[in-house]
């Protein structure tokens, strides 16, 4: 029997077809179908087709995370349609406008588990690999089809290993590693590949950091991403309500075939930044230090988890946001808001001058925190395409929460290592 | 002379003024928000374009937006910002709170001042013993900015005398709503409304605030509470506290005195379609609501969140209700964090939003679908103000809003 990659095993399990090879196309039965605010599109399609029975409502997860809460009557009625559909169908995993970002909410609630095959109407569904699941983004038509038929065709991807070793210096984080990789490999560097992260640094990472990794793998074109579940994963899942005895972990075999292996020594890294207008346009922060900012956004499924807010608060503690700069902090979920509120992180951020918004996608795609003509934002999100956050004539830079916080203090792009820690 | 007349006489360089006279008076503060500043700017730049002496007396607070949802709205904010920076106008960007709370919290409004502004609720600053009126953008651009002056017709004063003891569970907000119903919308056009009486004297500053706030719904030009030790003590808590301009009226009777026994008021709800459509809560109890909100010029106070926290203690927000909490200022939010109220209400299922006017007119949030209903502490409930014209808006006290959020329907809080 040949050694298999994670992707081979996950798709074999979801399709029931043995001995798959890259390039092969099979029908797979996803364990979960995630759809966000635009689920109304799927519902309208079902109405048109006259379909009123779903394959398995317990595999449907719907989260009202974009455009939340509604600022137009149209969006309000879209949300309302999703709510009434969920109620009518008996969809238990419906999360309303106050829950937070879909990816984070599903993981916090124990709905994402190792070995699962998960599809979602969001390209960053690769994030589910942080818990050892196969997560991939699909369109609304595919989700609609999966709701009804329970299955979706999938082409078995080739796999690539990314091995990160070494210790990171102070002021350097998981986001910096990913930006460096995206810059080096390019936005289409790993198109349709299953990316398996390994190495001593990856093994030491928190689940939060693993989420940042798997989320951003999308920006190299990955089909899915994967970090092998370990004790760190199991501790997180246990808290999320997915006890270890219920888990069915899939691990790649020793000797499985990879298209390539990429290696990076974390110790060689400095803080990185993606500059306009693509995610793979990456430079050391120092190269653009001093660039004047209008807005700093700490949010998104890439970097607004509790650990990210702690990193930002540690930098901001005892400092004030520069005059003429708006610092928007959008916790990724209601649970994270509670943690930050209980631990004092929220108080530190407010004291420094941050504006805390309701949990959700927030400004990431310009639905809130939209930019005017000529404005410049530094964001901890995962995309900086021209016009994504409002005006086509505005600029988005992407960085770690530490670089974002340091830059908010100075009002210009700043290497976080330059900000002195103030002991409260 | 009463307080309004004395302030106008002093500011126009006269020894006396009488109701009906037109005077030109010096203005101490111009307050604008993000929906009005750029419109004033447009008139000013095109038709006035003169130097602005003392530009810091003009204050702009971004409150209808906290995080603009579209590029067009972002450009409006940017226009406001550029204009404020160009002229040295005092600017509070998104997240600092709603206009009226932010200017008070920053010590920018003092007793005895003349305050003008483009928001219709500007008269609320009469709570501090200031003369505060809402003007139009043309007046701001044409006379207030270049000359620091505006013309005023001295209003006739009506005293609303509130005495008696409220029934248990009846809050100042209920009494304020009840008064709108009793007096009637538009019944006191162009009057100065003085709120007086033992009931008003016994209220804290922020509870008094709810009365001048409603005067615009009566049609009043301005409103005030005669400054006393409560006012002066409050002013001393503000940054740069001073009572240098403080004026007291001579205490003579107003032309008209309307007397009310607040003991007659019950818990009230303003129902669609206007603020004056006020009913005892029992008449509308049981009406399903999908949204509840504490916020707006009358409802994002620390007092409101404390009340909500006591009602939600050990309870949860109803699963069919989204309960929005919108602090009136950054200071209120920070204090609510310190008191543990932010965590307690969040864990009970409510959601916090940045200090702003929240769902007011749905610029940044708060649009409703057809058939949905919201109960809130906001000041207005006109159809179509929040999304669909087929949605319903109910206005009530923070206790009624919180109790309704728990019940999933309008609730008088008896449960």
Do A257 and A327 share a domain, yes or no? no
Q: Is residue A103 assigned to a domain?
A: yes
Please give the Cα distance from B33 to B155 (Å, whole number): 26
Q: CB under 8 Å to B22, separation ≥6 — which residues? A: B151, B152, B153, B154
Do A142 and A170 share a domain, yes or no? yes
Q: Is A359 on the interface with B (CB under 8 A)?
A: yes
φ/ψ of residue B230, rounded to 5: -65, -45
Q: Is residue A396 assigned to a domain?
A: yes
Q: Is the pTM of this model over 0.95?
A: yes
Please give the Cα distance from B304 to B307 (Å, whole number): 5
Do A220 and A166 share a domain, yes or no? yes
CB atoms within 10 A of CB B36: 21
Do A247 and A280 share a domain, yes or no? no
Is B366 close to A69, i.e. CB distance below 8 A?
A: yes
- Closest residue on chain A to B92 (Cα): A324
**Residue B413 scores a pLDDT above 60:** no
Do A163 and A33 share a domain, yes or no? yes
- Assign domain B269-407 to a CATH class: alpha beta
Chain B partners within 8 Å of A350 (Cβ): 330, 333-334, 337
Query: At which of A207, A230, A264 does a domain end?
Result: A264
Give me the mean pLDDT over the A144-159 stretch.
98
- Closest residue on chain A to B70 (Cα): A370
Q: Is residue A424 assigned to a domain?
A: no
pLDDT tier for residue A1 given thresholds of 50, 70 and 90: low
Looking at every residue in chain B, the average pLDDT score rounds to 96
Is B362 close to A71, i.e. CB distance below 8 A?
A: yes
- Closest residue on chain B to A66 (Cα): B69
Measured in angstroms, the CA of B349 and the nearest CA of chain A are apart by 9
Query: At which of A214, A235, A264 does a domain end?
Result: A264
Do A191 and A329 share a domain, yes or no? no
- Number of domains into which chain A is organized: 2
Please give the Cα distance from A165 to B14 (Å, whole number): 81
pLDDT tier for residue A368 given thresholds of 50, 70 and 90: confident
Per CATH, the homologous superfamily of domain B3-260 is Aconitase, domain 3 (3.30.499.10)
Please give the Cα distance from A334 to B261 (Å, whole number): 45
Do A18 and A66 share a domain, yes or no? yes
pLDDT tier for residue B414 given thresholds of 50, 70 and 90: low
Is A338 close to B343, i.e. CB distance below 8 A?
A: yes
ipTM over 0.90: yes
Q: Is residue A207 assigned to a domain?
A: yes
pLDDT tens across B375-409, in order?
999 999 999 999 999 999 999 999 999 999 999 99
Instruction: Name the residue range of residue A363's domain.
Output: 274-418
Chain B partners within 8 Å of A337 (Cβ): 346, 352
- Closest residue on chain A to B391 (Cα): A73
At residue B314, the pLDDT reads 95
Instruction: Express as a percent the part of chain B with pLDDT over 90.
Output: 96
Is A73 close to B346, i.e. CB distance below 8 A?
A: no
Instruction: Express as a percent the part of chain B with pLDDT over 70.
Output: 99
**Residue B332 scores a pLDDT above 80:** yes
Tokens of B200: 């008003």
Contact of A97 with A231, CB cutoff 8 Å: no
Q: Is B387 on the interface with A (CB under 8 A)?
A: yes
Q: Is B330 on the interface with A (CB under 8 A)?
A: yes
In whole angstroms, how far apart are CA B409 and each of A297, B171, B287, B347?
A: 37, 20, 5, 21
Q: Mutate which of B91, B327, B344, B351 to test chain A, going by most A C-beta atoms within 10 A?
A: B351
Handedness of CA B233, B237, B238, B240 (dihedral sign): positive
Do A290 and A230 share a domain, yes or no? no
Within this chain, domains B3-260 and B269-407 share the same CATH topology: yes
Please give the Cα distance from B135 to B113 (Å, whole number): 16
What are the strands, taking DSSP E only, across B321-366?
322-325, 351-352
Give me the mean pLDDT over the B180-189 stretch.
96
Please give the Cα distance from A352 to A314 (Å, whole number): 11
Do A258 and A345 share a domain, yes or no? no
Chain B partners within 8 Å of A372 (Cβ): 71, 74-75, 77-78
pLDDT tens across A207-261, in order?
999 999 999 999 999 999 999 999 999 999 999 999 999 999 999 999 999 999 9
pLDDT tens across B18-41, in order?
999 999 999 999 999 999 999 999
- Closest residue on chain B to A346 (Cα): B337
Q: Three-state DSSP class for B292?
A: strand
Do A101 and A240 share a domain, yes or no? yes
Q: Which residue has tokens 């209980």? A: A342
At residue A65, the pLDDT reads 95
pLDDT tens across B144-163, in order?
999 999 999 999 999 999 99
Query: At which of A264, A285, A319 does a domain end?
Result: A264
Domain of A76, CATH number, reads: 3.30.499.10
Do A138 and A238 share a domain, yes or no? yes
pLDDT tier for residue A424 given thresholds of 50, 70 and 90: low
Write out residues 380-399 of A within 8 Å (CB-CB) of B.
390-391
pLDDT tens across A34-80, in order?
999 999 999 999 999 999 999 999 999 999 999 999 999 999 999 99
Q: Is residue A1 assigned to a domain?
A: no
Q: Is residue A423 assigned to a domain?
A: no
Question: Where exactly are the structural domains of chain B?
Answer: 3-260, 269-407
At residue B242, the pLDDT reads 82
Chain A partners within 8 Å of B288 (Cβ): none
pLDDT tens across B279-308, in order?
999 999 999 999 999 999 989 999 999 999
**Residue A264 scores a pLDDT above 70:** yes
Looking at every residue in chain A, the average pLDDT score rounds to 97
Measured in angstroms, the CA of B384 and the nearest CA of chain A are apart by 9
Tokens of B118: 């483009």
Do A154 and A289 share a domain, yes or no? no
Between the CA atoms of A397, A398, A401 and A403, what dihedral angle is there, to the nearest 10 degrees? -50
């Amino acid at each position: 029997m040949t050694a298999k990659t994670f992707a081979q095993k996950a798709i074999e399990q979801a399709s029931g077809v043995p001995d798959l090879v890259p390039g092969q196309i099979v029908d797979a039965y996803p364990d979960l179908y995630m759809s966000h605010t635009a689920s109304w599109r799927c519902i309208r399609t079902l109405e048109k087709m006259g379909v009123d029975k779903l394959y398995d409502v317990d595999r449907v997860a719907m989260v009202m995370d974009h455009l939340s809460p509604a600022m137009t009557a149209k969006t309000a009625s879209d949300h309302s349609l999703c709510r009434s559909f969920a109620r009518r169908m008996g969809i238990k995993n419906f999360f309303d406008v106050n829950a937070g970002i879909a990816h984070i909410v599903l993981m916090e609630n124990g709905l994402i588990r190792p070995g699962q095959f998960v599809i979602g109407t969001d390209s960053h569904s690769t994030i589910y690999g942080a818990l050892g699941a196969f997560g991939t983004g699909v369109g609304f038509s595919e989700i609609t089809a999966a709701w009804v038929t329970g299955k979706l065709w999938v082409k078995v991807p080739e796999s690539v290993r990314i091995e990160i070793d070494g210790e990171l210096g102070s002021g350097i984080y998981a986001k910096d590693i990913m930006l460096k990789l995206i810059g080096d490999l390019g936005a289409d560097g790993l198109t349709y590949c299953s990316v398996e992260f390994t190495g001593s640094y990856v093994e030491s990472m928190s689940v939060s950091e693993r989420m940042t990794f798997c989320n951003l793998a999308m920006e190299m074109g990955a089909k899915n991403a994967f970090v092998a579940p370990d004790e760190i994963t199991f501790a997180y899942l246990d808290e999320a309500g997915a006890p270890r005895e219920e888990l069915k972990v899939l691990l790649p075999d020793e000797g499985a075939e990879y298209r390539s292996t990429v290696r990076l020594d974390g110790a060689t890294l400095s803080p990185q930044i993606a500059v306009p207008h693509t995610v793979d346009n990456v430079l050391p922060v120092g190269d653009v230090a001093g660039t004047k900012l209008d807005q700093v956004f700490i949010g998104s499924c890439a970097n607004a988890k509790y650990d990210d807010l702690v990193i930002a608060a540690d930098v901001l503690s005892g400092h004030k946001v520069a005059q003429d700069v708006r610092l928007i902090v959008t916790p990724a979920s209601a649970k994270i808001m509670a943690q930050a509120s209980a631990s004092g992180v929220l108080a530190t951020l407010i004291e420094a001058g941050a504006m805390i918004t309701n949990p959700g996608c927030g400004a990431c795609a310009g639905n809130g925190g939209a930019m005017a003509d000529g404005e410049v934002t530094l964001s901890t999100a995962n995309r900086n395409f021209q016009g994504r956050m409002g005006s086509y004539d505005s600029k988005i830079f992407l960085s770690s929460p530490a670089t974002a916080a340091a830059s908010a203090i100075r009002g210009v792009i700043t290497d976080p290592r330059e900000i002195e820690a103030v002991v409260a | 002379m009463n307080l309004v007349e004395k302030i106008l006489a002093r500011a126009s360089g006269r020894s006396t003024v009488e109701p009906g006279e037109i005077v030109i008076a010096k203005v101490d503060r111009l307050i604008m928000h993000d929906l009005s500043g750029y419109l004033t700017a447009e008139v000013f730049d095109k038709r006035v374009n003169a130097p602005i002496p003392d530009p810091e007396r003009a204050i702009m607070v971004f409150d209808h937006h906290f995080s603009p949802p579209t590029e067009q709205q972002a450009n409006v904010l940017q226009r406001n910002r550029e204009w404020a920076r160009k002229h040295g106008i005092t600017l509070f960007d998104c997240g600092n709170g709603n206009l009226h709370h932010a200017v008070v919290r920053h010590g920018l409004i003092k007793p005895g001042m003349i305050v003008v502004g483009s928001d219709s609720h500007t008269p609320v600053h009469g709570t501090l013993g200031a003369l505060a009126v809402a003007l139009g953008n043309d007046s701001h651009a044409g006379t207030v900015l270049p000359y620091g002056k505006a013309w005023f017709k001295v209003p006739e004063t009506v005293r609303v005398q509130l005495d008696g003891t409220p029934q248990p569970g009846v809050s100042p907000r209920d009494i304020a709503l009840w008064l709108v119903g009793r007096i009637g919308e538009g019944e006191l056009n162009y009057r100065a409304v003085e709120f007086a009486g033992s009931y008003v004297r016994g209220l804290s500053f922020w509870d008094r605030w709810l009365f001048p706030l409603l005067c615009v719904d009566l049609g009043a030009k301005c409103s005030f509470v005669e400054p006393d030790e409560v006012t002066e003590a409050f002013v001393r808590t503000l940054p740069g506290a001073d009572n240098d301009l403080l004026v007291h009226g001579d205490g003579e009777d107003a032309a008209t005195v309307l007397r009310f026994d607040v003991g007659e008021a019950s818990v009230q709800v303003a129902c669609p379609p206007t603020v004056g459509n006020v009913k005892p809560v029992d008449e509308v109890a049981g009406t399903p609501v999908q949204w509840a909100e504490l916020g707006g010029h009358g409802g994002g106070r620390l007092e409101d969140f404390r009340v909500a926290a006591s009602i939600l203690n050990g309870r949860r927000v109803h699963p069919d209700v989204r309960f929005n909490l919108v602090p009136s200022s950054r200071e209120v939010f920070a204090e609510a964090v310190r008191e543990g109220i932010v965590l307690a209400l969040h864990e009970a299922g409510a959601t916090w939003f940045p200090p702003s006017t929240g769902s007011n007119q749905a610029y940044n949030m708060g649009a409703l679908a057809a058939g949905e209903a919201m109960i809130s502490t906001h000041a207005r409930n006109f159809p179509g103000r929040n999304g669909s014209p087929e949605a319903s808006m109910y206005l009530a006290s923070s206790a009624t809003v919180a109790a309704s959020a728990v019940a999933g329907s309008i609730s008088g809080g008896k449960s």
